[in-house]
Amino acid sequence: MDVLSYLGNGFATALDWHNLLFAFIGVLIGTAVGVLPGIGPMSGVALLIPVTASFTSGLSPEAAATSSIILLAGVYYGAMYGGSTTSILLNTPGESSSVVTALDGYQMAKQGRAGSALSIAAIGSFFAGIVSLVALVLLAKPLSDVALKFGPAEYFSLMLLGLCAVSGLAGKSMTKALMMTVFGLMLGTIGIDNVSGVARFTFDIPQLYQGLEFLTIAVGLFALGEVFKTILERESNDGELAKITRILPTKQDMKESTGPIVRGSLLGFFIGILPGAGATLASFFSYILEKKISKNPEKFGKGAIAGVAAPESANNAASGGAMIPLLTMGIPGSGTTAILMGALIMYNVQPGPLLFDEHPQVAWGLIASMFIGNLMLLALNMPLVKVFAKIISVPPKYLIPIIVAISVFGVYAVQTNTFDLMLLMVFGVAGYFLLKNDFPLAPLVLGLVLGPMIENNMRRALTASNGDFMIFLQKPVSLVFLVIAVLWITVPLLLKLRGKKVLVNEEG
C-alpha cells in the first residue's frame, strides 16, 4: 500500500464518531489550557492521560491507544491556539510560546484591532498546522525506513543526541539541565531490570518493583508544581480585557500577513523537527526574521500584524514538526512530546520506526485526526473567541483545588494505590522548588521516558561487541550522532565564553 491509501485508512479511523468526539474534546480542553495561565500544555496533557485512560477502557487496546492519543495531541496543538488569545487580549501569555505574540498582539488590541489579530493568529495557526501535516505525511515513511536500518549502537547514540539537544537548550544553566536529565535517567533505572530480571534500587518496597510510574512523576512535577506556585505566589490577572469589535481581518491585514504566515510555518516546522528546539524558540526566531526582512521594522512592537502572524504560525508548525521525530524514530524532542510518548508506551504502543508497520491505525489515525482537529480549531476559534477569552476569568479559588483533586483522582485511577499518591505530593513540591531555582523539568521527564530504551540499546550494542565501548565510535552513523551531540553541548558553552547571548528554550 502506498502513503495515500494509508492516509485514507487514517481518515477512516479519525472520522469514527467517537474519535471525532475525542478530537473535539481534546482541542476544546487544549484551548482552555492554553488560555488559563496556571496550566501549560505539559501539565494539561499529563493531567488528561488518566482521564482518557478511563474513558477508553471499554475499547480494544489498539483502538484505545488511537483514541486517547488523538485526544492528547488535540490538547497539545489546541493549547497553541489558546495561548495566543490571552497574549493578545490581556498581555498575559497563557504559555511561553506566545510570549512574542503579546508584543504586537496587545498593541493591536489597544488600537481596537483585537479581532483581526485573533483571527490572523487562528488562520496562521491553521495554515501552519496543514503545512506541518503535509510534511509529516511525506516524511514519515522515508524517515522510519531509514531509522529501521539502525542497530542498537546507532539508536543509543541517537537517543544520547536527543537528550543532549534538549539539555543544551533547556533553561538558563546547562549544568542544571544536564543534572535533571541524568536524574531522570537514574529514576528510570529503579525497578526490575528487564534484561536480567534483577531488582535495582527497590529496597524491598513492593511498589517499586514495577519502577516509578512515569504518569505519577509527570503529573506531580508539572501539574502540582504549577499549582503550588500559584498558591504561594498569589498570581493574579487583573488586566483589562480588550474589546473585540470585528472578527474578520481586513483585506489589507490578509495581504500583509500572507508572507509572514508562509515563512513562519516553514521555519517553525524545521525548528520543531530539531530535538530540543520547540515552539518557544520557533516563535522567537520567526519574529526576529520578520523584523529583519520587513521594509519598515520600526512598526514592530507597535501593532504590526506580521508580528502576530509569524510567531503564531511558527509555534503551531513547530508542534507539528515535533511529532516527526517522535513518530518515526521514537525520540521525543520536547517535554510535551515526551509526555505523549509516555502515554503511548502506557498503551503498549512503542513509538518508533516500527510504529507505521505494527500500528498503522495509531500512526495514520493520529495524523488524519490532526488535520480534522485543526479544522475544528479554526471553526471554533473564529466565532467563539469571545467565549474562550472569558475562561480566563474562572476564579482561581475554585480552579486550584480542583486541579489538585483531578491529579489525585487521575493517579489513583491508573495506579490504585496510596504509595503513588504520596509520591505525587513529593514530586509536586520538588517540581515547584526545582522550577523556581531554574532547574528545568522537561529534561527529567525525557530522561525518565528514554532511560530504559537507552540502557537496553547500550547493553545490546555492548553485548555484541563483547563489552567494548569503542563500538559506538566505530559505526559511522553512530559516530556522527555522537559528534553532533558533543557539538550541541559545547558550541553554546563556547559562545557563552565569548560573551554572546544564547537563546534558550523555556518550555517548562
CB of 230 to another protein, least distance (A): 10
What does the alpha-carbon distance between residue 363 and residue 352 come to, in Å, rounded to a whole number? 10
* Shortest CB 436 distance to another protein, Å: 8
Give the dihedral of Cα atoms 474, 475, 478, 480; nearest 10 deg.
70
- Give whichever of 253 and 455 is closer to another protein, judged by the CB atom: 455
Closest approach, Cβ 129 to another protein, in A, equals 32
| Nearest distance from C-beta of residue 56 to another protein, angstroms | 10
Cβ–Cβ < 8 Å for 23, 372: yes
- Gap between the Cα atoms of 506 and 168, Å rounded: 12
Residue 6 CB, nearest approach to another protein (Å) = 32
Residue with smaller CB distance to another protein, 18 or 172? 172
Q: Which three cell numbers stand for residue 43?
A: 501539565
Nearer to another protein, 5 or 474 (CB): 474
Question: Both ends of the chain: CA-CA distance in Å?
Answer: 41
342 versus 443: smaller Cβ distance to another protein: 443
The packing angle between helices 61-90 and 335-346, to 10°, is 160
Burial (0-12, 13-18, 19+ Cβ within 10 Å), 12: middle
Angstrom distance (rounded) from CA 332 to CA 263: 25
For another protein, give the closer residue by CB, 109 or 158: 158
Question: Contact, 77 vs 97, CB < 8 A?
Answer: no
Q: 270 vs 412, which CB is nearer to another protein? A: 412
Q: Which is nearer to another protein, 49 or 178 (CB)?
A: 178
Nearest CB to another protein, comparing residues 397 and 498: 397
AA identity, residue 172? K
The least distance separating another protein from the CB of residue 39, rounded to whole angstroms, comes to 16
Smallest gap from residue 197 Cβ to another protein (A): 9
Binding site for another protein (CB under 8 A): 54-55, 57-58, 172-173, 175-176, 178-179, 182-183, 185-186, 189, 193, 195-196, 198, 200-201, 228, 231-234, 395-398, 400-402, 404-405, 408-409, 412-413, 416, 418, 421-422, 424-425, 429, 433, 436-439, 455, 458-459, 462-463, 466-467
- For the bound state, the minimum distance from the C-beta of residue 473 to another protein, rounded and expressed in Å, comes to 16
Buried/exposed code over 276-291 (b: 16+ C-beta within 10 A; e: otherwise): bbbbbbbbbbbbebbb
Distances (CA, A) of 400 to 50, 93, 224, 227, 291: 19, 19, 9, 6, 39
- Partner residues linked to 170 by β-bridges: 505
Q: How far apart are CA 64 and CA 325, in angstroms?
A: 23
